[in-house]
Amino acid sequence: MNIAKVKRLVAHGVFFALTGWSGTVVATEAATHSLAGWAVLDQSAREAGPTSGQFISGKFGVTPPFINSQPVPGWSGLLNNHDGTFTALPDNGYGAKGNSGDFVIGFYQVRPEFRERGDGTTTPGLIKNEGFTPFNDRNNILGNGQGVDLLITADLENYRHGEGMGKNSGIPVAAEIREKRLLTGYDFDVESIARADDGSYWVGEEFGPFLLHFGPDGTLLEEPVPHPLLVSPNHPQAIALPATATQGASRGFESLAFDEHKEFLYAVPEAAPVVDALRPVPGDERVLEIFQFDPKASAYTGVNFKYRKDGPATGNDIVIGDMTNVGKDTYVLIERDSKFGSQAEVKRLYLVDLNETDQDGILKKRLLVDLLDIHDPEDIGGPLPGLAEKRFNMPFDSIECVVVIDDHTLGVAIDTNFPSEDGRLAGVPDSTEFIKLTFGVPMAELAPRS
């Protein structure tokens, strides 16, 4: 069966999803839902700061570098501030360690004005950036001779570019980066964020992968916490000794979520280790582990949960985009492929309950929403190309944010990989899209039960 050509059949909330490694089509019931809001931060948005984009090529009419400014390349993490604003985390900038040394990492405070009713057009509501907080190492934790020491961009005279330890570009590091010890996309690839009760932030990243602890002002508070088994090719250890890498590049902690009571964090890599012996089910690339972390002890507890992605057991290219708690021990996860536009196939929200496993000890999951086929009874999206009336979709590569708005409502947003992808409009770089999805009952009640 040609998986790419299978069409979703929708009837009374039931559609057919590909779940088996052999390409078997299995009937799966999606939860009753509807699009409740749509807002966009235009791809032209910029934050004043050091000149960036000096190591990328232009595309779709975008010409770098961006003089005295930083673009917003979508979001990889999102937190609800419960005052109409959200804390939004871009990743390391331009998609790779070697091209993001001049991109300052940190988080925005954003205010969406969602479009909530249709008017016959495809014009979404707008998102405003209300402030930016850069991450910094002003306490010199990364150069104190303890724990994880890194030579960061702020320690250099010239930017590095390229992989490994990089090459001297001959381009001076911006004075602001050096003086304030700002962290850049060459130092860390931040992909997920969780807020503690004291207002500090835990951040999951991919170059270690490490867990990072920042104060409310963006200052690194303690040593990066490495994982006991997962080692990225960009980890300093693997750069020095490549054979020690156990995790794929850009397959680190794409999600970091507190439990309901903010006692533990759950760190989720995009995919299983590349070393088969370290996989929770050797020979099966679908199964990865969700790792429990104690933030008070800054240590992993050793309690892990097994989760099985869709797709084939080998050659699996589906990854986890995010995870968030929706009440009790229930979590929503994003599964996605790396395709966009008309080629997109797998963009799905699943529910799990950490107490519910199958006979193999793997978490049971229930399809919540297919993000390529969203019910839009208010016609909020308008007549989008290629979609049936009162349907909406998110045909993007990197759908990487899911956030609780209330017991019945989720927010979902994207990383745009600016300026290289045009999932929504051909030839136009994707803007940052943020939608609301509402459900008829509290989401925690929809999780799979025995």
pLDDT per residue as tens digits for the range 159-214: 999 877 789 999 999 999 999 999 999 999 999 999 999 999 999 999 999 999 99
Q: What is the pLDDT of residues 131-152, one digit of tens each?
A: 999 999 999 999 999 999 999 9
User: Which residues, 6+ apart, have CB-to-CB distance to 337 below 8 Å?
Assistant: 311, 317, 318, 319, 344, 345, 346, 347
User: Who's near 78: CB < 8 A, 6+ residues apart?
Assistant: 86, 87, 88, 89, 193, 401, 402, 403, 411, 413, 434
| Cα 213 to Cα 258: distance, rounded to the nearest angstrom | 14
Of the candidates 362, 357, 353, 348, the residue with the CA atom closest to the CA atom of residue 394? 348
The pLDDT score that the predictor gives to residue 28 is 61
Give the C-alpha separation, 128 to 114, whole Å. 11
Q: Which range has the worst mean pLDDT, 78-87, 231-240, 327-336?
A: 231-240
Residue 14 has pLDDT above 60, yes or no: no
Query: Rounded CA gap, 65 and 75, in Å?
Result: 21
Region 220-245 average pLDDT: 95
Q: Is the pLDDT of residue 368 over 60?
A: yes
Q: Mind listing the pLDDT tens digit for each residue in 254-264?
A: 999 999 999 99
User: Above 90 in pLDDT, residue 22?
Assistant: no
Token pair recorded at residue 340? 């966009």
Q: What percent helix, strand, coil does the chain show, rounded to 5?
A: 10, 40, 50
Question: 138-143 long-range CB contacts below 8 Å, 24 or more apart?
Answer: 138/180, 138/181, 138/219, 139/219, 139/220, 139/221, 140/181, 141/220, 141/221, 141/222, 141/223, 142/187, 142/220, 142/224
Name residue, tokens 């009837």: 11
User: Long-range contacts made by residues 220-224, C-beta under 8 angstroms, separation at least 24?
Assistant: 220/135, 220/136, 220/137, 220/139, 220/141, 220/142, 220/183, 221/139, 221/141, 222/141, 222/298, 223/141, 223/146, 223/147, 223/148, 223/298, 224/142, 224/147, 224/148
Q: Which is it for the CA torsion 194, 292, 400, 191, positive or negative? A: positive
What is the count of structural domains for the chain?
1
> Residue 236 above 80 pLDDT?
yes
> What pLDDT does residue 162 have?
84
392, pLDDT greater than 60? yes
pLDDT computed for residue 24 by the predictor: 29
Strands (E), 135-214: 158-161, 167-172, 190-195, 201-205, 210-214
Does pTM top 0.85 for this prediction? yes
Residue burial 140-162, b: 16+ Cβ < 10 Å; e: rest: ebbeeeeebebebbbebeebbbb
- Cis peptide bond prior to 65, omega within 30° of 0: yes
CA distance linking residue 416 with residue 409, whole number of Å:
23
Residue 401 lies in domain: 3-446
Sign of CA dihedral 278, 282, 283, 285: negative
Say whether pLDDT at 91 is over 50. Answer: yes
In DSSP notation, 271-302 reads: S--SSGGGSSSTT-TTEEEEEEEETTTTEEEE
**Mean pLDDT to the nearest integer, 309-336:** 97
Beta bridge partners of 408: none
